[in-house]
Amino acid sequence: MSDSMLDAYRQVRGHSRSICAPLETEDYVIQSMPDVSPTRWHLAHTTWFFETFCLKNLPDYQPEQPAFEVLFNSYYNAVGEQFPRERRGLLSRPTVAEVWRYRDQVDEAMIDLLARPDRESIVSDEVLRTGLNHEQQHQELMLTDLLHVFSCNPLHPVYSASAVRDCDPVDEVRWIESPAERIETIGFEETKDGKFCFDNELPRHRVLLSPHAIANRLVTNGEYLDFVEDGGYDDPSYWLSAGWATVQSEAWRAPMYWHLGEEGWYQFTLAGLRPVEENAPVCHLSYFEADAFARWSGCRLPTEFEWEVAVRDSGESIVDAFGSRWQWTASDYAPYPKYTAPEGAIGEYNGKFMCGQKVLRGSSVATPSGHERLSYRNFFPPSMRWQFCGIRLAMDLE
């Protein structure tokens, strides 16, 4: 492996440590709902990945804690048994200090492995890149999970006072039109420099786009507040049947983390409880809410293919495509034509989840730098709202 890739390993692993810098020991261990994992678990699981798929290829490697094979396996059935996800917060051991020691031990062994002249015969670049990108995904989850954990505390803890950026005034929405029916090629474009993508971004293939327009910017809190105050959560005509059932059963009345106080709406953030900033892009919405707002607006959500082509071709005309909010699309998470999952346990990474989920495009404020790209396909169930997810509207053209 080149020195630059070794640097990438150190940078990614170090960023996980920097995310934890504001935390107290007690913050690492809470699981506030089944979808949230304790920060300690994220740190251990990403370490387990390198140990399992890299270090265990060495004939003389012996794990110091064999029980970690079960405790920190997420969903890899080909590897073995997994401790139940919804019970990760019940474990007081291993301690946070033991997990940090585990990371240090694996890092030391990994750096030795990466320096070996025969390294490529032991572990491929593709597996190593997958491990690094996998850890970056968990770095984003660490922040979103901590937000949910802190939101359950009536003291409104602050993770970082600088975690929320100030918002500039917003202009009226401009529509970027694609007036003619056309065929476009989408998906990750492989290049000679060997840039990474996940298997679900392949293969490149052609799609037919109908005449449409896509909004140049994201929907704001102020615009979504109009939907709330217009009774959007009370009118089933805007909602898919499953969405309306979820609104009723979960008693949704506003985006997640919004609270109505005597002086108006507040939002819980990584910087604590703050007044809702009307110019900020709306956040923490499910697909159901995004779709209902689009219907209320007389619009729709874009397909993931419309989104990819618009961002590719429109340059700076598209605002906040990356680094602000993941953007729900109307597309079901399904395999691209002629998709095949990789062989072995790594093949479980994406392919087996291609059912019952929706695609999100772009990236969010919690996404690590360098982890976003045009063809990236995030995916979640349509009821999910604890991630940094927002809305970009689209409409059909005659």
* Helices and strands per DSSP (H, E), number in the chain: 9, 12
**pLDDT in 10s for each residue of the chain, 398 residues:** 457 889 999 999 999 999 999 999 999 999 999 999 999 999 999 999 999 999 999 999 999 899 999 999 999 999 999 999 999 999 999 999 999 999 999 999 999 999 999 999 999 999 999 999 999 999 999 999 999 999 999 999 999 998 887 778 899 999 999 999 999 999 999 876 778 999 999 999 999 999 999 999 999 999 999 999 999 999 999 999 999 999 999 999 999 999 999 999 999 999 999 999 999 999 999 999 999 999 999 999 999 999 999 999 998 899 999 999 999 999 999 999 999 998 888 888 899 999 999 999 999 999 999 999 999 999 999 999 999 999 999 999 98
CB atoms under 10 Å from CB of 273, counted, come to 16
Are 267 and 257 in contact by the 8 Å Cβ rule? The answer is yes
Strand segments (E) across 110-263: 175-178, 182-186, 205-209, 212-215, 258-261
For strand 205-209 and strand 358-362, is the pairing parallel, antiparallel, or unpaired? unpaired
Which residues are paired to 261 by β-bridges?
264
Q: Could you tell me how far CA 248 lies from the centroid of its own chain?
A: 26
Q: Return the axis-axis angle of helices 241-250 and 287-296, rounded to nearest 10°.
A: 110
Q: How far apart are CA 240 and CA 295, in angstroms?
A: 10
Are 6 and 114 in contact by the 8 Å Cβ rule? The answer is yes
Give CATH 1.20.120 domain extents, the chain: 3-151
> In this structure, what DSSP letter does residue 219 have?
P
> In degrees rounded to 5, what are phi and psi of residue 334?
-140, 160
Strand segments (E) across the chain: 175-178, 182-186, 205-209, 212-215, 258-261, 264-269, 272-275, 326-332, 358-362, 378-380, 389-390, 394-396
CB atoms under 10 Å from CB of 116, counted, come to 13
Helix (H, G, I), strand (E, B) or coil at 189: coil
Q: How far apart are CA 125 and CA 132, in angstroms?
A: 11
Structure tokens at 263: 């002086």
pLDDT of 1: 41
Are 51 and 175 in contact by the 8 Å Cβ rule? The answer is no
Q: How far is CA 23 from CA 6, 20, 35, 38, 158, in A?
A: 27, 5, 20, 12, 10
Superfamily of domain 175-396: paralog of FGE (formylglycine-generating enzyme) (3.90.1580.10)
DSSP string, 68-81: HHHHT--S-TTT--
CB atoms under 10 Å from CB of 282, counted, come to 26
For strand 326-332 and strand 389-390, is the pairing parallel, antiparallel, or unpaired? parallel
Q: How far apart are CA 205 and CA 171, in angstroms?
A: 35
pLDDT of 383: 98
DSSP string, 241-282: HHHHHHHHHHT--SSTTEEEETTEEEEEETTEEEE--TTSBP
Give CATH 3.90.1580.10 domain extents, the chain: 175-396
For 3-151, give the CATH class: mainly alpha
Sign of CA dihedral 124, 82, 47, 13: positive
